[in-house]
């Protein structure tokens, strides 16, 4: 009788192990390749940081402020991010590259893009220094640069177009990301001057989702540009009760008048959008 019970126990353990193994394999496969594009607009306070993931390929656009570094790194690690196919520093302002030295230090990076713009800000100097330490070269972010995230997600830089601007914000690398019939337009802090340059190129800017330029400041998002983009969803990345009063009431009014669904990191926290290339939904 004892032998029979032991035999049953062994069989039960084997079955449990097999089921656990199958479950793990399925979950691992789904995490690696499920053909779902996820875009995380991470709450980094008064700054920008966006994680784009597709079939275990990852891109990071900006890194928020230095003060937000702990929260950003925790968020990335919670999402099992260990390496980036691409990192894009849109322009050298502290609220966009403040934590970039930690991204370079803690994660493997295959391609690092930044516009050809210099800054005296400490965050820029730290970024360049850590890139040197890791022996990473900066690839120039500019109009006409194209690459794919995985095999199906196409990324195209629409700006900067000119080699010189008076305002660092207008050096912002504007990136359009397309997957099937769904598209995202990431504006960095590009202002009206940069928007006009893009429109003058006769580029197709129409996009499903617009990451509103310059945290919703009225220095960006002209009515003409907004009508050309014609987004269904707008994301504004800004801090609670920020000293700049972002987003501008005028910008919010423009978006509302065009029936655009608005999400704000100061109100909604981190916003994650998910798409299969046909439909798009907000995960949280």
Domain ranges of the chain: 1-32, 34-282
- pLDDT at res. 284: 86
Tell me how crowded residue 128 is: count the other CB atoms within 10 A of its CB.
18
- pLDDT at res. 103: 99
Average confidence (pLDDT) over 245-259: 98
Distance CA 82, CA 86 (A): 12
77 pLDDT higher than 70:
yes
pTM listed for this prediction: 0.89
46 pLDDT higher than 90:
yes
Average confidence (pLDDT) over 5-20: 42
- pLDDT at res. 8: 46
Average confidence (pLDDT) over 63-74: 98
pLDDT digits (tens, 9 = 90+) for 162-183: 999 999 999 999 999 999 999 9
Q: Which two tokens stand for residue 97?
A: 């590259």
Q: Which two tokens stand for residue 64?
A: 């928020």
CATH of 34-282, one of 3.40.50.300, 3.60.15.10, 3.40.50.2300, 3.90.1010.10: 3.60.15.10
21 pLDDT higher than 80:
no
């Amino acid at each position: 009788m004892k032998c029979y019970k032991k035999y049953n126990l062994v069989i039960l353990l084997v079955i449990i192990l097999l089921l656990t193994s199958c479950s793990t394999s399925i979950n691992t496969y789904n995490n690696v390749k499920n053909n779902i594009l996820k875009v995380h607009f991470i709450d980094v306070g008064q700054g920008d940081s966006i994680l784009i993931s597709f079939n275990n390929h990852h891109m990071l656009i900006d890194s928020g402020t230095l003060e937000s570094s702990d929260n950003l790194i925790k968020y990335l690690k919670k999402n099992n991010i260990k390496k980036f196919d691409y990192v894009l520093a849109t322009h050298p302002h502290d609220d966009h590259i403040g934590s970039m030295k930690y991204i370079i230090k803690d994660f493997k990076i295959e391609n690092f893009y930044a516009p050809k713009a210099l800054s005296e800000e400490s965050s820029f100097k730290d970024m360049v220094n850590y890139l040197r330490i890791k022996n990473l070269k900066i690839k120039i972010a500019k109009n006409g640069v194209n690459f794919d995230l995985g095999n199906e997600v196409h990324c195209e830089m629409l700006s900067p177009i000119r080699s010189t601007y008076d305002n660092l914000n207008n050096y912002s690398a504007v990136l359009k990301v397309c997957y099937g019939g769904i598209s995202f337009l990431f504006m960095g802090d590009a202002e009206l001057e940069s928007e006009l340059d893009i429109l003058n190129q006769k580029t197709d800017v129409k996009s499903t989702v617009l990451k509103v330029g310059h945290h919703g400041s009225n220095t960006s998002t002209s009515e003409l540009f907004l009508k050309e983009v014609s987004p269904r969803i707008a994301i504004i990345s800004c801090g609670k009760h920020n000293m700049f009063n972002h987003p501008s009431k005028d910008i919010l009014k423009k978006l509302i008048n065009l029936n655009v669904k608005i999400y704000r990191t100061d109100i909604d926290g981190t916003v994650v959008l998910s798409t299969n290339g046909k439909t798009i939904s907000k995960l949280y």
